[in-house]
Amino acid sequence: MSTVVEHVTCTFCGCLCDDLTVEAEGTEIRKVRLACSSGQGIFMDYDPRPRQPLVDGREVEWEEAVAEAAAILSASDSPLIYGLSSSASEAQRKAVALADRIGAVIDSTSSVCHGPTGLAMQAVGEPTCTLGEVRDRADLLVFWGCNPDASHLRHFPRFSLTAKGALTPNGRADRTVYVVDVRPTGSSKKADHFLQVDIGTDFEVLTTLRLLVKGLEPSVDIVGGVPVTELKELVERMKSCRYGVAFMGMGLTMASARQLNVAELFTLVAELNEFAKFSVIPMRGHGNVTGADQVLSWTTGYPFAVSFARGYPQFSPGEFSAVDMLARRAADAAVIIASDPGAHFPAAAAAHLERIPTIVLDHGPSVVASHAHVLFPTAAYGVDAAGTAYRMDNVPIPLKSVISTGRVTDEEILDRIIEAVA
Amino acid sequence: MSERLTMVTGRTRKQAIGMHKGKDSPEYREATGLVEMNPEDMARLNIEDGGQVLIRTAEGEVELTAHAGSLPAGLVFVPMGTLVNRLIGTETMGTGMPSFKGQTVDIAPVGEREGSS
Ligand code: SF4
């Protein structure tokens, strides 16, 4: 039977484009309209065949796999639950409930993307807005340490660079666009102005911008490789724009100074509101990494790196963040949900996942799944399971199930593990 | 001759497509097995466009294919992935975040490993 489903959401990146059309023949997806090249694979490369769980590589019934997972977690003194960003918020809640039940540390992929952004928000606040406001109102865009042209391919046409809105009817022509980065990128080529900063100097450049906003004069002519005259020009545009928006990415969170870079940008944006309406939006990567922050924050009070070891939530990035837990060999079992730290962590941290028993929930193959002790092959939210995800601007977006495969969701498996460890 | 340069890692379009195909797919291996460099750095180090280079840190070493790119002198770019993560340390400076951008690396053309400075 062939079906056409409209208004489908792509879960690959934090744009959560919800205007796709998917055509399927039974459980085979034949065509996806409007998804970018990064999002196409979510649907077109999905293997919809139902699979049995594996214990040590051996196919088993679901009861046995759940019992094995429960036995591993019951025997563990220091379990780690990690991932969450390609799952739905319904399952993220269950993951927190499991962490609470077994006294685990729970962390999401936030800790290796916008964790420092969360720390900056806690320190100085985050003056933000929605992508709808950007599309409708923004006449000045500053992309700092991010490259949507490679990472969020429909961000420019749907929300920012070329998007047409109520007060921006001419799209690109109604906006001035800056890119600040350490190297020229696809995004910088599309900007009106490119400021190339020396690596590791974002903080100094941002501080200089704050100084210029206050009307003070720096005692040098160049900061971080950028002539002060160019920074002055940017400040004049920032102060006189109608609605400015800064987008920031890993160029700030992964470089030296990390959360201090981000806090400096957030403070600059807050201070600009004395002169013009100005907001900032972090360019969140994975489809529902924002949801992981939301769910962890509303259930525990903290966005990532939370330990329930003492029976109540404690927050300590650098201690309860997954890379640190694994590098210190502090976890003696792990539940990995819809993510691949086996591929995306520094090798020495990933190696510890091969020393300890792992329970992996994933809808496709991954490095960490390839050596899981217990592997639960799940449905993919947004493909064969419905749910909720949070867009990068913290707007919740419904995910549809576009094919019926009968595969089991993360939420159902976590529920069964919670029951089994009780 | 080897030289110490600064590395940034990041997403590319091809890396994203390769990830859907699987991390053991030729698409992923090709997309993540390269390093973009400043052409003058390449010339000085005797590295040809499309040639193999050995990149080393205290954590490990990998061989990648070098391509000339619009990088400033002294900076190299490697797509995020399993290979480059062999070079990244686990120090997070109390934040949870390793140094995926700004790690110093030693680079030399393959074949010049012995006797490199
Ligand atoms: S921009 Fe992101 S959410 Fe939109 S189609 Fe592309 S990958 Fe999917």
Determine what percent of chain A is predicted with pLDDT higher than 70. 100
> B35 lies in a domain?
yes
Phi, psi (5° rounding) for residue A415?
-55, -45
Inform me whether the pLDDT recorded for B117 exceeds 70. no
Contacts with A188 (C-beta within 8 Å, 6 or more apart), sequence order: A179, A181, A194, A196
Question: If you count residue pairs, one on A and one on B, with CB atoms under 8 Å apart, how many are there?
Answer: 142
Q: CA-CA distance, A92 to B66, in Å (whole number)? A: 41
Whether B55 contacts chain A with CB within 8 A = no
Taking residues B3-12, what's their average pLDDT? 94
Q: Rounded to a whole number, what is the distance in Å from the CA of A239 to chain B's nearest CA?
A: 30
Taking residues A231-239, what's their average pLDDT? 98
Q: Which amino acid is at A327?
A: A
Superfamily of domain A115-282: Dimethylsulfoxide Reductase, domain 2 (3.40.228.10)
Q: Rounded to a whole number, what is the distance in Å from the CA of B26 to chain A's nearest CA?
A: 15
Taking residues A11-31, what's their average pLDDT? 97
> Look-up: residue for tokens 């403070």?
A267
Is the Cβ atom of A32 under 6 angstroms away from ligand 1? no
Taking residues A362-375, what's their average pLDDT? 95
Q: In 3D, which of A261, A285, A262 has the Cα closest to residue A150?
A: A285
The 3-state DSSP class for residue B27 equals helix
Taking residues A270-299, what's their average pLDDT? 97
Which residues of chain B does A45 touch, with a Cβ-Cβ cutoff of 8 Å? Answer: 20-21
CA-proximal residue: ligand 1, atom 8 (nearest) = A39
pTM value is: 0.96
The model's confidence at residue A267, banded by pLDDT at 50, 70 and 90, is: very high
**Three-state helix/strand/coil letters over chain A:** CEEEEEEECCCCECCCCCCEEEEEECCEEEEEECCCHHHHHHHHCCCCCCCCCEECCEECCHHHHHHHHHHHHHHCCCEEEEECCCCCHHHHHHHHHHHHHHCCEEEEHHHHCCHHHHHHHHHHCCCCCCHHHHHHHCCEEEEECCCHHHHCCCHHHHCCCCCCECCECCHHHHCEEEEEECCCCHHHHCCCEEEECCCCCHHHHHHHHHHHHCCCCCCCCEECCEEHHHHHHHHHHHHHCCEEEEEECHHHHCCCCHHHHHHHHHHHHHHHCCCCEEEEEECCCECCHHHHHHHHHHHHCCCCCEECCCCCCEECCCCCCHHHHHHCCCCCEEEEECCCHHHHCCHHHHHHCCCCCEEEEECCCCHHHHCCCEEEECCCECCCECEEEECCCCCEEEECCCCCCCCCCHHHHHHHHHHHHC
- Give the pLDDT confidence score for residue A348 in this predicted structure: 96
Which residues of chain B does A199 touch, with a Cβ-Cβ cutoff of 8 Å? Answer: 6, 8, 75, 101-102
Report the residue of chain B nearest A255, measured CA to CA. B101
- Give the pLDDT confidence score for residue A325 in this predicted structure: 98
Q: How far apart are the first and last CA of chain A?
A: 43
User: For A182, which of B8, B11, B23 is closest by C-beta distance?
Assistant: B8
Report the residue of chain A nearest B71, measured CA to CA. A183
Q: CA-CA distance, B75 to B97, in Å (whole number)? A: 20
Structure tokens at B11: 């997403």
Average pLDDT, chain A: 97
The model's confidence at residue A319, banded by pLDDT at 50, 70 and 90, is: very high
- Give the pLDDT confidence score for residue B20 in this predicted structure: 87
The model's confidence at residue A383, banded by pLDDT at 50, 70 and 90, is: very high
Interface predicted TM-score of the whole assembly (ipTM), two decimals: 0.91
Closest approach atom of ligand 1 to CA A13 = 2
Q: CA-CA distance, A50 to A406, in Å (whole number)? A: 7
> B81 lies in a domain?
yes
Q: CA-CA distance, A402 to A8, in Å (whole number)? A: 8
CB contact under 8 Å between A254 and B6, yes or no, is no
Which residues of chain B does A342 touch, with a Cβ-Cβ cutoff of 8 Å? Answer: 82
The model's confidence at residue B112, banded by pLDDT at 50, 70 and 90, is: low
Q: Which of A254, A307, A320, A354 to mutate to test the interface with B (most CBs of B within 10 A)?
A: A254
CB A228 within 8 A of CB A267: no
What's the fold here for domain A51-113+287-380+408-421?
Rossmann fold (3.40.50)
Closest approach atom of ligand 1 to CA A155 = 1
CB contact under 8 Å between A258 and B19, yes or no, is no
- Give the pLDDT confidence score for residue B19 in this predicted structure: 87
Per the structure, how many domains does chain B have? 1
Inform me whether the pLDDT recorded for A143 exceeds 90. yes
Same fold, A51-113+287-380+408-421 and A115-282: no
Identify the domain containing residue B35 by its residue range. 3-111
CA-proximal residue: ligand 1, atom 4 (nearest) = A17
> B116 lies in a domain?
no
- pLDDT, one tens digit per residue, over A151-203 is 999 999 999 999 999 999 999 999 999 999 999 999 999 999 999 999 999 99
Taking residues B26-48, what's their average pLDDT? 95
Structure tokens at A89: 């918020």
> B57 lies in a domain?
yes
Q: In 3D, which of B83, B50, A410 has the Cα closest to residue A399?
A: A410
Phi, psi (5° rounding) for residue B37?
-135, 160
Inform me whether the pLDDT recorded for A36 exceeds 80. yes
CB contact under 8 Å between A317 and B101, yes or no, is no
CB contact under 8 Å between A323 and B92, yes or no, is yes
Whether B23 contacts chain A with CB within 8 A = yes
Which residues of chain A does B61 touch, with a Cβ-Cβ cutoff of 8 Å? Answer: none
Whether B80 contacts chain A with CB within 8 A = yes
CATH number of the domain residue B104 falls in:
2.40.40.20
Structure tokens at A327: 């590098």
- Give the pLDDT confidence score for residue A389 in this predicted structure: 98
Where along chain A do its domains lie? 51-113+287-380+408-421, 115-282
Q: Is B30 left (phi over 0), alpha (psi -120 to 50) or beta?
A: alpha
Q: CA-CA distance, A157 to B82, in Å (whole number)? A: 31
In 10 A of CB A207, how many CB atoms? 17
> B93 lies in a domain?
yes
Inform me whether the pLDDT recorded for A311 exceeds 90. yes
CB A120 within 8 A of CB A259: yes
- pLDDT, one tens digit per residue, over A83-102 is 999 999 999 999 999 999 99
Inform me whether the pLDDT recorded for B115 exceeds 90. no
Structure tokens at B71: 């990088």
Q: What is the DSSP string of B56-114?
A: E-SS-EEEEEEEE-SPPTTEEEEESSTTGGGS-----TTTT---SEEEEEEEEETT--T
Q: Which of A182, A326, A370 to mutate to test the interface with B (most CBs of B within 10 A)?
A: A182
CB contact under 8 Å between B60 and A347, yes or no, is yes
Q: Rounded to a whole number, what is the distance in Å from the CA of B45 to chain A's nearest CA?
A: 20
